[in-house]
C-alpha cells in the first residue's frame, strides 16, 4: 500500500517530485477541511450545508481518496482519509455519482493549487450531489443551435455585454450592459424557437452549480469579477458552446444581481424561466422590437468582428459536419444500443449533427455490454438511445477495434453484420 501511494504521489504532483505519503494525506485532508469551512460559512445560500461525501480520483491509477467511509465499507482508513481503488468499469469525471451505496461528489485529481479555484470546483460538484434534495432535476440537454452561426454570434454578444457589465465601475453602465446582454439573449430565442427551454434546462443544472461554486469560493468582489471575465474569455476558445455556456451565463448574471439581491437563487425552482426571472429581478423593460435594438447595440460589442469570425468558422464547421455525417450515417458503421449507460466526455468539443445527435471526439462509455473508449469521434443519437462508431476493423469475442475506438465486450454480447453493410451490437 505504501509503495502504491508513493507512485500516486509522483503522478499527482505534476512536477515529478517525490513527496511523502504523509504530505499527500495531510494536503488532501487540509483541502477537505477548507471545503467544510466554506460550506458551513455559506449554508445560508441554499438553507443547507452542502458538505458531504467527496471522492477524489486519480485517473492514472484509479486510486481514490475520500472524506468519509462508503456505505459498504470497502474504503479503508488511511491516517486522516479513506482510500481505495475505483473500479475499471466505472467512468471517472467531475460529477456526482452513486458508488458503494453512497452518493458522492467526484472530482478528478490533481486539484487546482489556487484555493479559490479549488473550492469553486469542489463546491460545484457538491451542489450536483445535493441537487435532488434541493428540488432540481439533473438535466443535460443538447443546445445544438449554439453550434450554428447565429446561435454562436448572439451568445458571444451576450457574453461580451456581460463582460462590460462586470468591468463597469458605474452602476448605470453596469445596468445598461446587463440589459443589452438580455436583449441579445431574447433575440437569439427569436431566431431559434424552443432554444429558451433548452438553454434554461442546462442553466438550472450547470449554471446554478457553478454559481454556487463561485459564492462558496469567497473571492473578493474584484477577484470574482476578474475570474468571471477571464472565464468567459477562456470559454470563447472552446470549439463548441453547446454544453458549456451555462458555466458562464448564470454565474455572471447571478453575481451582478447579488449586489442588490444576495440570495436571489432561493427564488429559483425547476419551474423558473431564468431569462424572465433576471429581467424582472433587474427591473428591466425589454423593447418589443428586439431585432431593431440588436442592430443598434451590436457594434458596442464588436459585432462586426464577431460576425466575420463566425462566418469563417461556419465554412469550416459545415465541412466537418459533412465529414461526420458521411462517417457515422452514410458509410458502414457499428451501432451500439444503450441499456444502462454511463458516459464521460469533454463538454467543450462536441459537434452537433442537427437532429441526428452529437459527435463526441473523446468519450468513455460503460454499459451492461462492456466499455467503449473513443479517441477519434463517435455519434451519440439525439435521444440518447445509441452510439455509432466507424466500421470495425478487428472483431473477436472480447475486444473489437476500429478507427480511434476500442470496445471491450462482456460475455453474452456479440457484433452482427447486418444485411445493409452496417454492424450492430446485440445480445447473444
149 and 296 inside one domain: yes
186 located within any domain: yes
DSSP letters along 207-239, please? IHHHHHHHHHTT--HHHHHHHHHHHHHHHTTSS
**Same domain for 206 and 336:** no
Q: Is residue 128 part of a domain?
A: no
Q: Is the pLDDT score of 4 beyond 50? A: no
- pLDDT attached to residue 19: 44
Q: Are 136 and 180 contacting, i.e. CB atoms less than 8 angstroms apart?
A: no
Tell me how far apart the alpha carbons of residues 170 and 177 are, in angstroms, rounded to a whole number: 11
Q: How many domains does the chain have?
A: 3
The answer as to whether 78 is a domain residue is yes
In a domain, 20, yes or no: yes
Q: Is residue 90 part of a domain?
A: yes
295 and 171 co-located in one domain: yes
Q: Tell me which residue range forms the domain holding 94.
A: 2-112
Cell numbers at residue 412, please? Answer: 453474452
pLDDT for 393:
93
pLDDT tens across 194-211, in order? 999 999 999 999 999 999
Residue 274 and residue 165 in one domain? yes
Least confident range of 18-22, 102-106, 359-363: 18-22
Q: Are 364 and 372 in contact (CB under 8 A)?
A: yes
Could you tell me if 200 and 249 lie in one domain? Answer: yes
Burial class (CB in 10 A: 0-12, 13-18, 19+), 340: exposed
Question: Could you tell me the pLDDT band of residue 336, with boundaries at 50, 70 and 90?
Answer: very high
Is 241 found in the same domain as 361? no
124, part of any domain: no
Residue at 162 is within a domain: yes
**Region 354-370: what's the mean pLDDT?**
94
SS3 for 22?
Answer: helix
Same domain, 150 and 293: yes
CA separation for the pair 205, 201 (Å, rounded) = 7
pLDDT average, residue stretch 314-331 = 94
Residue listed under C-alpha cell 465541412: 319
Residues 341, 418, single domain; the answer is: yes
Residues 326 and 398 in one domain: yes
Q: Looking at per-residue confidence, does 337 or 14 come out higher?
A: 337
pLDDT (tens digit per residue) in 61-93: 999 999 999 999 999 997 789 999 999 999 999
- Strand 81-85 vs strand 76-78: parallel, antiparallel, or unpaired? antiparallel
- 21/243: higher pLDDT: 243
Asked if the model's pLDDT at residue 349 lies above 90, the reply is no
**Distance separating alpha carbons of residues 67 and 43, to the nearest angstrom:** 19
pLDDT digits (tens, 9 = 90+) for 120-179: 999 999 999 999 999 998 888 889 999 999 999 999 999 999 999 999 999 999 999 999
Phi, psi of 414 (to 5 degrees): -150, 165
Q: Residues in the chain, how many?
A: 428
Of 246, 274, 301, the position where a domain reaches its end is 301
φ, ψ of residue 141 in degrees (nearest 5): -70, 150
Query: Taking 80 as the threshold, does the pLDDT of residue 1 lie above it?
Result: no
In 243-356, DSSP assigns E strands to 333-337, 342-345, 351-352
Residues 288 and 367 both lie in one domain = no
Determine the Cα–Cα distance for residues 302 and 305; give it in Å rounded to an integer. 5
Q: Are residues 267 and 332 in the same domain?
A: no
297 in the same domain as 148: yes
pLDDT at 44 over 70: yes
Identify the domain boundary among 301, 331, 349. 301
pLDDT band of 402, cuts 50, 70, 90: very high
Among 19-33, 304-318, 323-337, 354-368, which stretch is predicted with the lowest mean pLDDT? 19-33
Q: pLDDT grade, residue 22 (50/70/90)? A: low
> Does a structural domain hold residue 311?
no
Residue 54 to residue 102: CA distance in whole angstroms: 10
- 173 and 232 Cβ atoms separated by less than 8 Å: no
pLDDT at 9: 40
pLDDT at 69: 95
Distances (CA, A) of 264 to 133, 224, 255, 277: 19, 17, 10, 10
Given 112, 134, 152, which residue is the final one in a domain?
Answer: 112
Q: Looking at 5-19, 174-188, 293-307, 396-410, which range is the least confident one?
A: 5-19
Adjacent-strand bridge partners of 358: 352, 380
Q: In what order do the strands lie in the sheet with 399-402?
A: 342-345, 363-367, 370-374, 405-409, 399-402, 394-395
Amino acid at each position: 500500500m505504501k509503495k502504491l501511494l508513493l507512485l500516486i504521489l509522483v503522478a499527482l504532483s505534476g512536477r515529478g517530485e517525490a513527496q511523502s505519503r504523509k504530505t499527500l494525506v495531510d494536503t488532501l485532508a487540509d483541502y477537505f477541511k477548507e471545503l467544510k469551512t466554506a460550506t458551513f460559512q455559506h449554508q445560508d445560500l441554499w438553507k443547507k450545508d452542502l458538505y458531504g461525501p467527496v471522492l477524489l480520483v486519480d485517473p492514472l491509477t484509479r486510486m481514490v481518496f475520500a472524506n468519509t467511509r462508503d456505505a459498504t465499507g470497502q474504503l479503508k482508513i488511511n491516517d486522516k482519509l479513506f482510500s481505495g481503488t475505483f473500479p475499471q468499469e466505472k467512468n471517472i469525471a467531475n460529477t456526482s455519482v452513486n458508488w458503494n451505496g453512497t452518493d458522492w461528489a467526484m472530482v478528478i485529481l490533481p486539484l487546482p493549487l489556487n484555493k479559490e479555484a479549488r473550492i469553486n470546483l469542489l463546491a460545484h460538484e457538491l451542489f450536483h450531489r445535493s441537487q435532488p434534495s434541493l428540488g432540481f432535476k439533473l438535466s443535460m440537454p443538447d443546445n445544438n443551435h449554439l453550434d450554428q452561426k447565429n446561435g454562436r454570434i448572439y451568445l458571444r454578444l451576450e457574453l461580451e455585454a456581460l463582460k462590460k457589465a462586470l468591468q463597469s465601475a458605474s452602476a448605470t453602465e453596469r445596468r445598461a450592459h446587463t440589459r443589452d446582454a438580455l436583449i441579445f439573449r431574447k433575440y437569439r430565442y427569436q431566431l431559434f424557437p424552443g432554444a429558451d427551454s433548452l438553454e434554461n434546462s442546462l442553466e438550472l443544472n450547470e449554471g446554478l452549480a457553478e454559481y454556487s461554486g463561485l459564492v462558496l469560493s469567497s473571492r473578493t468582489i474584484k477577484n470574482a469579477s476578474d475570474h468571471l471575465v477571464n472565464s468567459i474569455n477562456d470559454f470563447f476558445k472552446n470549439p463548441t458552446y453547446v454544453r458549456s455556456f451555462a458555466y458562464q451565463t448564470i454565474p455572471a448574471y447571478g453575481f451582478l444581481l447579488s449586489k442588490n439581491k444576495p440570495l436571489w437563487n432561493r427564488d429559483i425552482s425547476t419551474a423558473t424561466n431564468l431569462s424572465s426571472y433576471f429581467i424582472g429581478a433587474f427591473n428591466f423593460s425589454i423593447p418589443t422590437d428586439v431585432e431593431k435594438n440588436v442592430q443598434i447595440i451590436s457594434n458596442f460589442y464588436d459585432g462586426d468582428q464577431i460576425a466575420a469570425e463566425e462566418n469563417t468558422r461556419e465554412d469550416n464547421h459545415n465541412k466537418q459536419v459533412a465529414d461526420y455525417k458521411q462517417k457515422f450515417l452514410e458509410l458502414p458503421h457499428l451501432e451500439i444500443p444503450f441499456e444502462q449507460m454511463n458516459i464521460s466526455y469533454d463538454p467543450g468539443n462536441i459537434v452537433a449533427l442537427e437532429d441526428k445527435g452529437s459527435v463526441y471526439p473523446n468519450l468513455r462509455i460503460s454499459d451492461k455490454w462492456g466499455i467503449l473508449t473513443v479517441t477519434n469521434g463517435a455519434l451519440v443519437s439525439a435521444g440518447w438511445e445509441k452510439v455509432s462508431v466507424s466500421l470495425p476493423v478487428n472483431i473477436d469475442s472480447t475486444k473489437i477495434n476500429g478507427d480511434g475506438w476500442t470496445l471491450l465486450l462482456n460475455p453474452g454480447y456479440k457484433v452482427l453484420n447486418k444485411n445493409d453493410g452496417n454492424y450492430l451490437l446485440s445480445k447473444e
